[in-house]
A and B are shown apart, each in its own frame.
Chain A
């Protein structure tokens, strides 16, 4: 089993603060995705990274894939209440067709 652990599990911050969420594994992944999920809805894809060391920016969000393709981070600058949600990382199996989801980070941004 290719386990993905996210930290922190819960995060509550004030509007305007910066934060980083981590996604770690002992396994190598062919690709890694970040999703945001709101209560009662499906996860929405934010980004896919496929190359070790790759950095992608999406407005105030910066995603990095580790050099060894085992871990990733999501950094949010100047968080806003609209960023509130459950952030999930998911790794594409290096040996099959399965995506493995992380344990999730629940983010609350207080106005």
Chain B
């Protein structure tokens, strides 16, 4: 158990819908990273927040957005869902603001299925 929690574990929805994925980082960690993992794309970095502020952006679509709240939990919002958005979505937390120390702890993931 990494100490990172994600809800829900599974989510099934239809195309065009909007969903919210939630992540609670390990106690004391200020950084949250979001990733998408699909069979053909591997693990892709989406976005990072540190202490409530957006810190880095990766391959995140405009239909996707995220935020980190004062209690440090984070939400990833996916809208106008398409079939291709079906994937595993992971969040990871870190005590560090950057990558130099290289420590991330992953949650168990949310499996999103878009029908």
Give residues in A with beta carbon < 8 Å to B: 30-33, 35, 40-45, 48-50, 88, 90, 92-93, 96-104
Interface residues of B in 63-97 (CB under 8 A from A): 88, 90, 92, 97
Interface string of B101-114 (1 = CB under 8 A from A): 11111111101000
What residue of chain A has the Cβ atom nearest to residue B56's Cβ?
A97
Known A41-B109, A92-B98, A92-B99; contact A99-B104, beta-carbon cutoff 8 A: yes
Q: Are B106 and A30 in contact (CB under 8 A)?
A: no
Q: What A residues does B98 contact at CB under 8 A?
A: 30, 92, 96-97
Q: Are B109 and A97 in contact (CB under 8 A)?
A: no
At the interface, yes or no: B2 with Cβ under 8 Å from chain A? yes
Give residues in B with beta carbon < 8 Å to A: 2, 4, 33, 35, 42-45, 48, 50, 55-56, 58, 88, 90, 92, 97-109, 111
8 other contacts beyond A98-B48, A102-B42, with CB at 8 A cut-off?
Answer: A30-B99, A31-B99, A88-B43, A90-B104, A96-B56, A97-B99, A98-B99, A104-B42
Task: Give the secondary structure class of A's interface.
Answer: strand
What residue of chain A has the Cβ atom nearest to residue B108's Cβ?
A42
Q: What A residues does B106 contact at CB under 8 A?
A: 35, 42-45
What residue of chain A has the Cβ atom nearest to residue B35's Cβ?
A101
Q: Are B108 and A100 in contact (CB under 8 A)?
A: no
Known A42-B109, A97-B55; contact A50-B97, beta-carbon cutoff 8 A: no
Q: What B residues does A104 contact at CB under 8 A?
A: 42-43
Q: What A residues does B92 contact at CB under 8 A?
A: 42
Q: Are B56 and A42 in contact (CB under 8 A)?
A: no
What residue of chain B has the Cβ atom nearest to residue A102's Cβ?
B42
Q: Name the one of B56, B103, B111 contacting A98, with C-beta atoms under 8 angstroms.
A: B56
